[in-house]
Each structure stands twice: as structure tokens, then as C-alpha cells.
A and B are shown apart, each in its own frame.
Chain A
Amino acid sequence: MTKWLAPRSAIGILLITAALIALPFVAAMGGQAWVRIVNFAILYIFLALGLNIVVGFAGLLDLGYIAFYAVGAYTWALLASPHFGLHWPFWAILPIGAVIACFFGVLLGSPTLKLRGDYLAIVTLGFGEIVRIFLNNLNAPINVTNGPQGITLIDPVKFGDFSFSGTTQILGVSLSGPQKYYFLLVALAIFVIIINLRLQHSRIGRAWQAIREDEIAAKAVGINTRNIKLLAFAMGASFGGIAGGIFSAMQGFVSPESFSLIESIMILAMVVLGGMGHIPGVILGAVLLTVLPEVLRYGVGPLQVAVFGKMLIDPESLRMLIFGLALVLVMRFKPAGLWPSPERKRELQGDA
């Protein structure tokens, strides 16, 4: 930790801080839509780092991670919207969302953690689908989730009188809603990055890595594998729950559509594509996979017009096509991810 105080690191930190403060204003030059995209990139960093605990550190393949995100999002939506007429404050809901998501994580984890890799993957996938189907159908006979229509008019995050939606003037600077959320999200992201960094080389983090590399050996040296795996699941789930709550407040609207399997897969892709278990890599993966589709969304249509003079292919499918190809190509040429941890890179080269 002390090396952070070295002059070179201090300059680096200052530069990063300056860039982080400037980013929402630079993005706003391209329109508030870009600020929202930046916000989503940070939200996905949060989610990807949460999943990184489960997949990257502990080596448990979780394909239903979005379920915890959904639980957090619906917790916020139900406790802070006109749907049930409840308007609880954020400091009450966020922990509740995290605890409920954590409970679901333990609920899913405790019976299934003895399963081997791919069996665990399909069970978590099934769990994610179960949660989504319930959210979609729990509007009858008692209307809990309002079904496929979802819940609208969800309260934004509020500190006392300070609301995160709408424009406000702070010290003469005009801040839009998305820009305010940006700073909140950055703060949360830094929080989760610090937790990840501290966990990585802690006793627990080393236990996770031991389980990831060889579960039987880990058991043999006295690690309580069941509890440690459950802890990874519960922690990942709580982070998912918190991210879900923020998502809900930021959007003002949730529906089951946002929590389909493809979302789980995307978050997993961020973790793997960036470099499993390596925090900077996962951050890079999350940013790339959020921003790339958006850049393609704005770029593919005009580019076709420029090259061929007219729209030849539906830009929406072309965009996803390129995205899919990019996933294949990156993994083809960088099997360990774009920015793998040094140890992992060495291992792979040793194998070859």
C-alpha cells in the first residue's frame, strides 16, 4: 500500500482522478446518451468485478449471475415506487437488496456447490431462468412484479433533499442527472475495486485460488471448501444486488426483459475476455463490451451509407454480427483474455 505514496504513483493517481472528473463533461459534448453509456460501462465494471469473485477467483462457473442483479433491481423497484406505495430511502434499500441477493446466492449455492464445473454452470443458468420466469409471471393472482410490463416511476437515489435525477447547480457547475449518477457510480466502483484488491491476496482470496486450481488439494490442506465456495457465491451475489438497485434507480424502470440469460453471458464474456481473475483485465473487458456495441450502433449505419451509398444490411443485426465475430477473434488470438494476470500468462506459455 505504501508504494501508492511514491511520487510517480501519486502523479498517476492525480492524472486518473482528473480524467475521471473530466470524463462525464467530455462525454456530455456528444450528448447525454454518451454519459448514460459511460454510466453503464461503470455499472458493468461493478457487475463484472462481482462475478470475477465467483468465476475468476474461486473458479466457479456461474451462468445465472444476472438473477442476483434482478433481485436487487426488483427489491429497489418494489420498495421505492408507487407500485406498492412505498418510498423507502436508499440507505435502507441498498443493504436490503444486497442481503436478499446474498440470501438467494446461498440458497442457490448450498445445494449445488458439490457439483462439478459444467454441471454447476447449467444449474446456475437454470436458476437465472427460473427467477426471470417468475418475474415475468408474478402478476397474478397477486400482482407482485407487474409481469412483463415491469415497474415504472421508480424513485431516484436521494440524499436528503438532494436528488440524483434532474439538473442541479453545484458551485456554479450545471450537472445533469446522468452526470450525477456518474459520480455515484465511480465512488461505488472504486469501493468494489478496493474490496477486490484486498480480497485477492487475503487468506480468503488465496483459499479461493487454491480451490480454483485444485479442489482436492485445497481440501487436503485444511480449507473448508464448501464454506469458502459459498462465501464466494454470497459475495458475488451481494455485489449483483447492489448493482441492481442502482440500475433500478438510474433507469426509473425495470422489466424482466433486462434480466435475460444473454445478460449473464455478456457479463461472463466481460470477465473472460478481459482476463479472468485479473482486476484491471476485467475492468477493461467490461468497458470494451459495453462501449463496443454502442460505438457500432452509431457507426455501422452511416458507414454502410458511406461505402455502398445505401443501407444494404439491417444495421442492428450487422452490429451484433460484428460483435459476435469480435468475441470469437479476441478469444482466438488471446486465449487467456486481453489483459491476463502475469502468473496466468506464464502458465499458458509454459503449457505451449
Chain B
Amino acid sequence: MKRHRKVPFLHVTVDLPKMDIFLQQIINGLVQGSIYALVALGYTMVYGIMGLINFAHGEVVMIGTLVTITVASLLIKAGVPLAVAGLAGLVAAVLACMALGWGLERVAYRPLRNAPRLTPLITAIGMSIVLQNVAMIVWGRNYMTFPPVLPKINFELAGAHFTAVQVMIVVVSGLTMSGLVLLVYRTKLGMAMRATAQNPQVASLMGVNSNRVISAAFVIGSALGALAGVMVGTYYEIAHYQMGFMLGLKAFTAAVLGGIGNLAGAMAGGILLGIIEALGAGYIGDLTGGFLGSHYQDIFAFIVLIVVLMFKPSGLFGEKTGDRA
């Protein structure tokens, strides 16, 4: 996938001392992992509440990035200051994706609430194809450049380099995730969500409006996805109508790695996956004596996943659940 070529660590020269490379990879992995974690939360919230893999979530993220690019570029052209334009783009993306997530659930999933398990999976795939092609019709086939909304400031820590954008990504996703935890464990809506996740029938008998809860999960997940999409855009500075696919796949892998349906699991899984990928890509050449190069980067996510699931069949933090009969 193209976007990996732009990852800064691939440009780090090899003659740096070993410790620096290690630190550098950890930093890069943390940044990538924060993005995975935000997207993974969208998958895990929906799965936790209704046991459904929302395959179209990656496309929601992609739409978020492209909306930001359009809005921010238009505002910059109109003479609006960079930071304001960027912020407006972000707000526009979050609103657009929330609407999209809500609509997605209404159109593709709600009518199939009682259908066989695989049916909503196919509608999800259908929606994902639709969204990708709508994006291609609206934004075209070419790569789009993300406007430089954040200043380029470089920091150095013990020989490892990082940028203001990277700091911003880690801080913002940290804050957002804390906010989500507060929402789920300290508000009434959160309580309703947890109740529905445990047992939808009993929750609705207790007066929980399960339709509202499910819509809320989609809307919140999509908002997080939009935020992640903006981060991907500012980080790699390019975007494309197909970018949602691999990102979604990795994030979903992260969610399963942590134990799908579990918020903390999605966060930990995302960050873990980011770091493993970064370290793997940095060291695979040395480990295999040059036999396998860094283009095998995408393999780590899946190998780690398979190995973890072999020993912990419900993911790292997932509870052991029996089959719901």
C-alpha cells in the first residue's frame, strides 16, 4: 500500500546507533497505533452492542479524510488562516461522518436486525463498495494532497526525531479515548450501551431504547473514525478513495487482537499493532538476514493476530464467552 512508503521511519538512515532506531520505531508505532485504536473503537462499539462487523467503517474514515481536504482547501483558497481552515475541515468531517454512520445503520443494518448472521455482512460489503465508488465519482481517482494545516516543527529525543503532527495525533487520540471511556462508564447513555451489549432484550425491558443506543454507537464510532481520518491525512499528507480499505482492515485486526467488543481491548490492540508493525518493518531485514524486506510490513498484523488467537481465542482482553445459542 502506497501510504506506507511515506512513513518517515523508512527514511531514517541505517548507520544510526541501534537504540535510536528502536526509540524511533516505538514513536512511529505509537503514532500509527493511536490512529488504529481510534478506528478500532468504531468497530468494537458496534460489535459489542449488536455483534456485527461493520465492514464499511473503513470507508467512513476515508470519506472523513476527503471531506476535510475539500473543506480545508476551499477555506484556505478563500484566505482563511491555516489553523482555522483545518479545524473547520475537521468539524465538517466529523459531522459528515456522523450523518453517514447514522444513515448506514438505518439503510443497511436496521432492516436486517433479525436476519441470518451473514446477511448484514453482505450488505456491509455492498455499502463499502457503494461508498468507495461514490468517493471515486466525487473526488476522482487521483491522490489528493492534504493541505498543510499544522506547522512543521521537529523535535529530537535521544536521537529519535518526531514532529508536531505526531505529538498532536497521540495527544488528541489519548484525550478522545479518555472522553469515550467517561461517556461509556459515567453517563446514562453509556450505561444504556453497556446494558444493551450485555443483553438487548432485558435492556429494552428496563426501558432502554435499543434503537437509539445502536444509532448512538454508530454515530460515535463514525465521529471517532472521522477524527482518525483527519489524522491520517495530516500525517501522510495524501489521501485516496481506496485508503479506507487497508486502514479499516488493520483497525479491525487491532479490535480483534484486543478482544472485540471491549473498549480497552481496542485501544490496547491498536497501539500494540502499531508498535509491532513499526518494529517488525524496522527489524525484519536484520532478523531474516535480508531474506524478507520491509515490504512484508503488512504481514505482521496478521501473523501476530493468528498467534495471539491461537493462545487466547477471545483476544487479549476479551472475556471468555460461550456461543450465544
Binding site for B on A (CB under 8 A): 55, 61, 111-112, 114-119, 121-123, 125-127, 129-130, 133-134, 136-137, 140-141, 214-216, 261, 265, 268-269, 272-273, 276, 313-314, 317-318, 320-321, 323-328, 331-332, 335-336, 344, 348, 351-352
Query: Residues 277-307 of chain B: 1 if any A CB is under 8 Å from the residue's CB, otherwise 0?
Result: 0000000000000111101101101110110
Establish whether residues A111 and B118, one from each chain, have CB atoms under 8 Å apart when the complex forms. Answer: no
Interface residues of B in 122-139 (CB under 8 A from A): 122-123, 125-130, 132-134, 136-137
A119-B309, A122-B305 given as contacts; is B137 within 8 A of A313 (CB)? yes
Q: Are A321 and B137 in contact (CB under 8 A)?
A: yes
Partner of A127, one of B126, B137, B306, B323: B306
What DSSP secondary structure best describes chain A's contact surface? helix
Give 16 pairs: A residue, B residue, CB < 8 Å, sorted on A.
Answer: A55-B118, A111-B306, A112-B306, A114-B313, A116-B313, A137-B292, A261-B249, A269-B125, A313-B137, A317-B137, A321-B130, A324-B126, A328-B123, A331-B115, A332-B112, A344-B116
Of all chain B residues, which has the CB nearest A271?
Answer: B118
Closest to B125 in A: A265
Q: A126-B301, A129-B302 are in contact. List 8 more A-B contacts (CB 8 A).
A: A116-B323, A140-B293, A272-B121, A317-B136, A321-B133, A328-B126, A344-B116, A352-B114
Say whether B108 faces chain A, with CB atoms less than 8 Å apart. yes
A202 vs B117: C-alpha distance in the bound complex, in angstroms? 25
Q: Which listed segment binds A: B77-85, B148-156, B217-225, B252-260? A: B252-260
Q: Is B145 an interface residue (CB 8 A)?
A: no
List residues of chain B with CB under 8 Å of any chain A CB: 47, 51, 53, 107-108, 111-112, 114-123, 125-130, 132-134, 136-137, 249, 252-253, 256, 260, 290-293, 295-296, 298-299, 301-303, 305-306, 309-310, 313-315, 321-323, 325
A331 in contact with B299 (CB, 8 Å): no
Contact status A61-B129, CB under 8 Å: no
| Residues of chain A with a CB closer than 8 A to B137's CB | 313-314, 317-318, 321
Bound Cα distance from A318 to B133, whole angstroms? 7
4 closest Cβ pairs, A-B complex: A126-B302, A327-B126, A324-B129, A335-B115
* In the complex with contacts A111-B306, A129-B298, A328-B107, A272-B130 CB distance below 8 A: no
Taking a contact as CB atoms under 8 Å apart, the answer to whether A137 and B323 are in contact is: no
Q: A115-B313, A121-B53, A314-B136 are in contact. Are A133 and B298 (CB under 8 A)?
A: yes
Q: Decide if A328 touches B298 in the complex (CB within 8 Å).
A: no
